[in-house]
Amino acid sequence: NAGVTQTPKFRILKIGQSMTLQCAQDMNHNYMYWYRQDPGMGLKLIYYSVGAGITDKGEVPNGYNVSRSTTEDFPLRLELAAPSQTSVYFCASRETDRGRARAQPQHFGDGTRLSIL
């Protein structure tokens, strides 16, 4: 019953460093998402994917990259870390709708708290 797993849980980076936030789901969901949550705010969409090999930008994609080589994994890459990227990052996944069925929610990981100093 792993669901959506994010690693690491916490990380401190120096300005200009790069890192990859990992996200894996074991529910065979086609849709996957990366959000960031700044203090006192709701979540904002960074990137999303509707299936393996397909990714697209969300509201706040600048400074990030993603890839989706498998259904299970959706890593988020920060190339040149900046203080503005200090945030909590959430990965989520969602099952495909089947007709006019009940609304399928997004399932979230526990988040990665990232500080850039």
Partner 1 sequence: AQTVTQSQPEMSVQEAETVTLSCTYDTSENNYYLFWYKQPPSRQMILVIRQEAYKQQNATENRFSVNFQKAAKSFSLKISDSQLGDTAMYFCAFMKASGGSNYKLTFGKGTLLTVNP
Query: Applying CB under 8 A, which residues contact partner 1?
Result: 31, 33, 35, 40-45, 48, 50, 56, 58, 88, 90, 92, 94, 97, 100, 102-108, 110-111, 113
Q: Which is nearer to partner 1, 79 or 92 (CB)?
A: 92
SS3 64: strand
Q: Which is nearer to partner 1, 14 or 105 (CB)?
A: 105
Name every residue whose Cβ is closer than 8 Å to that of residue 111 and which is 6 or more positions away in sequence. 6, 9, 37, 88, 89, 90
The minimum distance between CB 114 and partner 1, in angstroms, equals: 13
Residue 65's identity, in one-letter code, is N
Q: Which is nearer to partner 1, 54 or 82 (CB)?
A: 54
- Alpha carbon 54 to chain centroid, angstroms: 14
The minimum distance between CB 83 and partner 1, in angstroms, equals: 21
* Phi, psi (degrees; rounded to nearest 5) at 83: -55, -30
